[in-house]
Amino acid sequence: MIQDLGATVEFVNDTMVVNSKGIQPLASGVNCGESGLGIRMFTPVAALSSEQITINGKGSLLTRPMNFFDEVLPQVGVQITSNNGKLPLQIQGPLQPQNITVDGSLSSQFLTGLLFAYAAAFPNPSNGRAEDTVTITVKDLKSKPYVDLTLKVMEAFKMNVPENKNYKEFVFHKSQISNHQSQIDYTVEGDWSGAAFLLVAGAIAGEITVKGLDVFSTQADKKILEALQDSGCRLSIQDKQIEVGPAALKAFHFNATDCPDLFPPLVALAAYCEGKTVIEGVRRLAHKESDRGITLQDEFGKMGLEIILQDDLMIINGGKGLKGAHVHSRHDHRIAMACATAGLRTASEVVIDEAEAINKSYPEFYKHIEKLGATVTIA
Q: How far apart are CA 320 and CA 323, in angstroms?
A: 10
Domains contained in the chain, number: 3
CATH number at residue 219: 3.65.10.10
The one-letter code for the residue type at 340 is: A
Closest CA to 304 of 354, 264, 334, 346: 346
Pair 101, 91 in one domain: no
Band (pLDDT 50/70/90 cuts) for residue 289 is: low
Pair 144, 202 in one domain: no
261 is catalytic: yes
- pLDDT at position 181, please? 61
Q: How far apart are CA 115 and CA 231, in angstroms?
A: 37
Q: What average pLDDT does the segment 341-367 reach? A: 94
pLDDT tens digits, residue range 109-163? 999 999 999 999 987 644 555 578 999 999 999 999 999 999 999 999 999 999 9
Q: What average pLDDT does the segment 93-97 reach? A: 95
- β-bridge mates for residue 316, sequence order: 277, 307
Pair 279, 134 in one domain: no
Cα–chain-centroid distance for residue 208?
Answer: 24
Q: What average pLDDT does the segment 45-70 reach? A: 92
Q: How far apart are CA 321 and CA 249, in angstroms?
A: 12
Decide if 182 is inside a domain: no
Domain that holds residue 21: 1-95
Calculate helix-pair angle for 263-270, 292-301, nearest 10 degrees. 30
Decide if 184 is inside a domain: no
Pair 72, 91 in one domain: yes
Decide if 102 is inside a domain: yes
pTM value is 0.87
Walk across the sheet containing 163-165 and list its strands.
100-103, 133-139, 169-173, 163-165
Catalytic residue among 4, 258, 261, 332: 261
Question: Which of these three, 144, 176, 208, is where a domain ends?
Answer: 176
Q: What average pLDDT does the segment 279-306 reach? A: 91
